[in-house]
Structure 1
Amino acid sequence: MRIIIAGAGDVGFHLAKLLAYEEQDIILIDMDGDRLRQAASNLDVSTIKGSSTSYSVLEEADVANADLLIAVTSSEETNITTTIIGKHLGAKKTIARIQNVEYLLNKEKLNLADLGIDEIISPESLAAKEIKRLLKEIALTDTFDFDEGRLSLVGVTVDENSKLKDKTLIEAAHLNPNQNFVTVAILRDSQTIIPHGDNKFIEGDHAYFIAQPNGIDTVLELSGKRKQEIKNIMILGGSKVGFHAAKRLSRKFNVKLIERDREKCHELADQLKDVMVICGDGRDVDLLQEEAIEEMDAFIAVTGNSETNIISCLVAKNNNVKKTISLVENIDYIHLSQNIGVDTMINKKLIAANFIFRYIRKGDVISLTSIHGVDAEILEFIVKAGSKITTREIKELDFPKGAIIGGVVRNGVGYTTMGDFQFRPKDRAVVLCRPECIHDVEEFFK
């Protein structure tokens, strides 16, 4: 595929990094020469310095033969203009990053496709959606449903109370006689392990499983956790992410939002009728305690300052808040979350890049997600008739070592998959794999 990425910031760079593992023809456009030099020295990409709204620049990038044009600069106007011009010059598919979510809410009325914009994404809206997903179950560090929950990805920390502690995967399998979950990844000291039978769970690990609906309870029981209901949530920061998160969460939970800008507080109070908006500095521990932080089930810090978000989450943890989520600008911080005490760190640009990435996948990929801090992707494929994955049992396939098949949804029922399982057409397969293995995995599903 010929892919043009307009914008070499965090979103564009991360997208290019994901694609660099594959045989893609990538052209990166940006006005900033330093960004382009950094990308060229670290990634296998071509670079063009200039504005992506320039006809000559797009012509130099050979946009007429582009399979995909992705505009992810920091300027909404530039992104919209780039995709419209690029589409009219021959780009097959276009994606624009936007900030105004009114475009998302009204994209059918606006007929954006007629203008030349095939898809729009809002990192802020996606981040809010991710926060809601992460709050599905307090005891889990991560959760993602496949085919409406017929299979789920779940993550837990292995602590001193866990029955999994110091057990190998083979030994852990004996604790799971119903075979209703499969271990697919272990995050240890910021290193991702694709586990096999002799790998051992140790205290402090973040372990990830693909589970059938009844397998989630088994995972919680073996990890020494119990289901806990969420009622009260505190959000620090009236940013766009904070606003969208509060709007989504207030439909189901009691939400308090703290914002220090008085004018913004009035705006938020007018727009968020079901949210208690408090004007004050969330870095003030006394204020947090006055607002009963110890009664909160979850604390979400989404100010524009990563350090403020991290520290306030640690304050929340010190006040016995069960679940903390911190928004960070630096992607490198995400790998530190398990070591410093914040339950989950998210980066809106990384979330946006991963969302866009699904448009580049081969085979019938119907969903793609990443696990925060884990160097791997989770893909859900629809199995095609005659594809390589259907030819033999799993144990007889030369499946990449850096990937693991976690489960399948067949005829509306989710199953975990063992070595003697053989796929059939129309199955929905869930696979975890390292970025460098994605191309090899896709070959099994083409």
Structure 2
Amino acid sequence: MRIIIAGAGEVGFHIAKLLAYEEQDIILIDRDKEKLDYVSSHLDVATIKGSSTSLKVLQEAMVQKADLVISATSTEETNIATAIIAKNLGAKRTVARIENIEYLHKKDILDLKTIGIDEIISPESLAAKEIDRLLKEAALTDSFDFSSGMLSMIGLSIQEDSVLHNKTIAEASSLDPYQNFVTVAILRNNETIIPRGNNQFRKDDHAYFIVCPDVIDKLITLTGNESFQIKNVMILGGSKVGINAAKRLSKKYNVKLVERDKDKAFELADQLKQTLVINGDGRDIELLEEEGIEEMDAFVAVTGNSETNIISCLVAKKHGVRKTISLVENIDYIQISQDIGVDTMINKKLIAANFIFRYIRKGQVLSLTSIHGVDAEVLEFEVQENSKITRHELKDLNFPAAAVIGGVIRRGEGYVTLGNFQFKPKDRVVVLARPNCIRKVESYFN
């Protein structure tokens, strides 16, 4: 594929980085020479200095041969214009990053495809959606549903009193005679392990499972965790992420939002009718105590300062809050989140990059997600009539060792796949794979 990325910031750089393991024809466009020099020194991609709205620049990038143009600069107007111009110059597909979420809500009315924009994405809206997903169950460090919950991927920490502690993967599977879960990854000391039968669970491991829906509570118990429903949520920061999160969460939970700026707090109080907006400095521990932080089940810190968000989450933990989520700008922080006591750290640009990345995947990819801090992707493929994966039973497929098939959805039911499983056309298969073997995994589904 020939892919043109406008914008060498974090979103554009991360997309290009995800493609570094594959034989894709990538061109990165940016006005900033220093950013392009950084990209060139770290990634094997072509770069062009200039504006992505320039006809000359786009023609130099041979936009007429582009399979995909991703406009991910920091300026909404530039992204919209780039997508429109690129489409009219012959690009097959365009994606534009936007800030105004009204475009998302009015997509059908606006009919953006008629002017050349195939897809729009808002990092702030996606981050709010991610927060909503992470608050489903307090015990889970991560959660993602496939096919409306027919199968789920969940993350759980292994506690010292867990019955899984010091057991191998093979021994753990014997605890479930119906084979309704499979371990697909273990995060240990910031190292990602794609487990095999002889790998052991250890205390403080963060283990990730593909499960059938009725097994989640059992796995929570097996890992030594306690199931807990969230009712009360405190959000720190009236940022765009905070506003979007409050709108989503207030439909299900009792939500308080703390905003330091007085004028903005009054404005948000008018805008967020179902949310209790408090004017105050969230770094003030006395204020948090006065506003009942000890009664909160979840604390979500989304101010514009990563350090404030992290420290506030640690304060919340100290006051007994069960679930904490911190928005961070530095992607490297995500690797250390659970080690320092924050349940989950999210980066809105990384979330946006992963969302865009699904347009690049091959083999009828239905959904794609990443696990926070884990060096792997989770993909859902649809099996085609002549797909390689249908030729043999799973144990005889010679499937890549750096990947694991977690389960399959067949005719509306989810199943965990064992060695004697035979895949059929129309099956929806959930796979976890390291970036360097995704291309090989895709070949099984083409």
TM-score (norm 1): 0.99
Q: How does 1:378-397 map to 2 (within 5 A)?
A: 378-397=378-397
Counterpart for residue 375 of structure 2: 375
Equivalent residues of 2:159, 2:225 under 8 A apart: no
Q: Which structure 2 segments of 5+ residues have no match?
A: none
Q: Do structure 1's residue 336 and structure 2's residue 342 form an aligned pair?
A: no
CA contact (8 A) 2:265 2:278 kept: yes
Identical aligned pairs, as a percentage? 69
SS at match of 1:359: coil
Kept in 1: contact 2:255–2:275 (CA 8 A):
yes
Structure 2 residue 279 is the aligned partner of structure 1 residue 279: yes
Partner of residue 105, structure 2: 105
For 1:232 and 1:415, the matched residues in 2 are separated by: 34
For residue 206 of structure 1, what is the aligned residue in structure 2? 206
Secondary structure at the residue paired with 1:51?
coil
Q: Which amino acid aligns with 1:394?
A: L
- What does residue range 132-211 of structure 1 map to in structure 2 within 5 Å? 132-211=132-211
Q: What amino acid is the match of 1:119?
A: E
Matched, 1:321 2:321: yes
**Residues 366-390 of structure 1: per-residue CA shift (max 9 Å, x gap):** 1000100001000001111111000
Instruction: Give, as a single letter, the amino acid of the residue that structure 1 aligns with 2:392.
Output: R
Q: How many residue pairs get matched?
A: 446
For residues 229 and 59 of structure 2, what CA distance do their matches in structure 1 show?
Answer: 55
Name the structure 2 match of 1:124.
124
Any conservation in 2 of the 1:298–1:322 contact (CA below 8 Å)? Answer: yes
1:403 maps to: 403
Instruction: Provide the rounded CA distance (Å) in 2 between the counterparts of 1:215 and 1:381.
Output: 23
For 1:219-298, what aligned pairs fall within 5 Å after superposition? 219-298=219-298
Aligned partners of 1:215, 1:384: CA distance in 2, in Å? 29
SS in 1 for 2:90: coil
**Could you tell me which amino acid in structure 2 is paired with residue 439 of structure 1?**
R
Aligned mates of 1:133, 1:367 — CA distance in 2 = 15
Aligned mates of 2:273, 2:217 — CA distance in 1: 36
Q: Which residue of structure 2 lines up, in the alignment, with residue 19 of structure 1?
A: 19
Whether the 8 Å CA contact 1:168–1:200 is kept in 2: the answer is: yes
What letter is aligned with 2:404? Answer: I
Deviates more, 1:139-148 or 1:107-116: 107-116
Alpha-carbon distance in structure 1 between the residues aligned to 2:296 and 2:136: 15
Instruction: Give the equivalent residue in structure 2 for 1:84.
Output: 84
Query: Cα deviations across residues 406-432 of structure 1 (Å, max 9, x unaligned)?
Result: 000111110000111110011110000
- 1:19 deviation in Å? 0.8
SS state at 2:359 partner? helix
- Which amino acid in 2 is paired with 1:293? I
Q: Distance in 1 between matches of 2:266 and 2:220?
A: 42
Q: CA deviation at 1:110?
A: 1.2
In structure 1, distance between residues paired with 2:9 and 2:159: 38
Distance in 1 separating the partners of 2:161 and 2:309: 29
Summarize the alignment of residues 47-62 of structure 1 with structure 2, pairs less than 5 Å apart: 47-62=47-62
The corresponding residue for 2:445 is 445
Superposition deviation, residue 115 in structure 1: 1.0
Listed as ranges, the gaps of 5+ residues in structure 1 are: none
Shift of 1:226: 2.6
Post-superposition CA distance 1:273-317 (Å, at most 9, x none): 000000000000000000010000000000000000000000000
Offset at 1:204? Answer: 1.0
Deviations 1:142-176 (A, max 9, x none): 01010111100011001112111111111111212
Q: Which amino acid aligns with 1:254?
A: N
Q: Give distance in 1, aligned partners of 2:163 and 2:306.
A: 35
- How far off is 1:213 after superposition? 1.1
* Per-residue Cα deviation, 1:84-138 (whole angstroms, up to 9, x for no partner): 1111111110000000001111111112111111100000000000000000100
Counterpart residue number, 2:65? 65
Q: Is the 8 A contact 1:27 1:48 kept in 2?
A: yes
Per-residue Cα deviation, 1:312-364 (whole angstroms, up to 9, x for no partner): 00000000000000000000000011210000000000000000000011111
In the TM superposition, residue 218 of structure 1 has moved relative to its aligned partner by: 2.0
CA–CA distance in structure 2, aligned partners of residues 53 and 319 of structure 1: 51
SS in 2 for 1:204: coil
Determine the structure 2 residue equivalent to 1:299. 299
One-letter code aligned to 1:434:
R
- How many Å separate the matches in 1 of 2:398 and 2:179? 23
Cα-Cα RMSD: 0.6
TM-score, structure 2 length as denominator?
0.99
Q: Tell me the equivalent position of 1:348.
A: 348
Matched residues in 1 for 2:172 and 2:75: separation? 50
Runs of 4+ in 1 over 2 A off after TM superposition: none
Tell me the distance in 2 between the aligned counterparts of 1:392 and 1:346.
Answer: 39
